[in-house]
């Protein structure tokens, strides 16, 4: 997999309040196996080699800034005017020639996918490139409109699509890469002339095409990595996917997870090779399980401290 050979800015859109979550917790601060959603996206931006990370937040972002700290540049979206307005606020701070735009509520995107997208962008000599995916049920997503040469000419949001356009299975995954001045100029030209009365980031694509620039699309076959967290159901779905991946990693190291259904282990937990985790065990936070140690059953360990132990529960100390 290629690595970045130039400095890029990465803008992460994290200003949404997440009303559909029905929670007072900011959407991007909900946790997946103990790890905040926004931390997954911040880590991705860092792992691909971003020279600058810009986090677009709203005016009630103290909890986010406390978590992330000063390692990023913050851009404020004072009013919820749409994803296009948020991206514009972020791009105003971009220092480098090319910018990657990510959504702060999509935690499963892989480093390999983003690097492949950037490599494809270079191969196609595109001015902008977006990430797409084909879904059996594309309901709710913006549809990709291509020309006869296969390049993208527009993205139509679900609520604005015709019946024919809704039959398109290729959808927009919300990841954009391109020349910073071009993206900024395209965003300057978007309007709120749509059914939601918002500034759509997707409308920037149409503006780029109108400037006779080339927009490419890199398609991922992994539908799971583009799932965004908009509801509690989405959060549960993502937690299950991450749990499967995490436990598979532990099992490859010889960790015996007796009953995955009744066992929860945070991503922050350090577990030595050959440890045994028995049924009905909850292990959270800054906890270390030593190699060959047995934990459970019926145990709760948080930050190395035991709670709810019975005579069968052992181990779990740091």
Query: What tokens appear for 217 in the block?
Result: 């699309």
Query: What tokens appear for 47 in the block?
Result: 């792992």
d(CA 202, CA 176): 10
d(CA 90, CA 92): 5
Catalytic residue among 20, 110, 146, 290: 20
Name the residue among 174, 225, 229 with its Cα closest to residue 28.
229
Q: Which long-range contacts (CB under 8 A, 24 or more apart) does 290-293 make?
A: 290/315
Assess whether 31 carries a catalytic annotation. Answer: no
Q: Bridge-partner residues for 177, per DSSP?
A: 100, 129
Cβ-contact 246, 265 below 8 angstroms: yes
Cβ-contact 2, 122 below 8 angstroms: no
DSSP-assigned letter for residue 142:
P
The residue assigned the tokens 């749990």 is: 243
H helices within the chain, ranges in order?
Answer: 37-47, 62-68, 83-91, 111-123, 180-188, 203-210, 232-252
Please give the positions annotated as active site.
20
């Amino acid at each position: 997999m290629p690595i970045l050979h130039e400095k890029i800015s990465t803008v992460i859109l994290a200003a949404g309040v997440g009303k559909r979550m029905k929670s007072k917790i900011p959407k991007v601060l909900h946790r997946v196996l103990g790890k905040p959603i926004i931390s997954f996206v911040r880590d991705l931006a860092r792992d691909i080699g971003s020279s600058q990370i810009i986090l677009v937040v709203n005016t009630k972002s103290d909890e986010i800034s406390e978590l992330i700290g000063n390692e990023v540049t913050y851009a404020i979206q004072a009013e919820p005017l749409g994803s296009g307005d948020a991206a514009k606020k972020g791009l105003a701070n971009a220092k480098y020639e090319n910018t990657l735009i990510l959504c702060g509520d999509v935690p499963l995107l892989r480093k390999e996918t983003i690097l492949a997208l950037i490599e494809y962008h270079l191969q196609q000599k595109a001015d902008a490139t977006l990430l797409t995916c084909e879904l059996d049920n594309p309901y709710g997503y913006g549809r990709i409109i291509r020309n006869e040469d296969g390049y993208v000419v527009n993205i139509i949001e679900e609520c604005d699509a015709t019946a024919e356009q809704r039959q398109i299975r290729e959808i927009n995954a919300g990841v954009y890469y391109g020349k910073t001045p071009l993206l900024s100029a395209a965003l300057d030209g978007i309007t709120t002339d749509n059914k939601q009365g918002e500034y759509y980031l997707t409308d920037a694509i149409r503006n780029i095409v109108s400037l006779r620039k080339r927009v490419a699309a890199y398609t991922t076959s992994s539908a799971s990595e583009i799932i965004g967290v908009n509801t509690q159901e989405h959060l549960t779905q993502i937690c299950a996917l991450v749990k499967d991946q995490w436990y598979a990693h532990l099992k490859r190291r010889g960790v015996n997870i007796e009953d995955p259904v009744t066992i929860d282990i945070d991503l922050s937990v350090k577990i030595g090779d050959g440890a045994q985790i028995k049924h009905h065990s909850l292990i959270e936070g800054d906890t270390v399980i030593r190699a060959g140690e047995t934990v459970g059953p019926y145990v709760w360990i948080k930050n190395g401290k035991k709670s709810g132990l019975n005579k069968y529960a052992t181990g779990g100390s740091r």
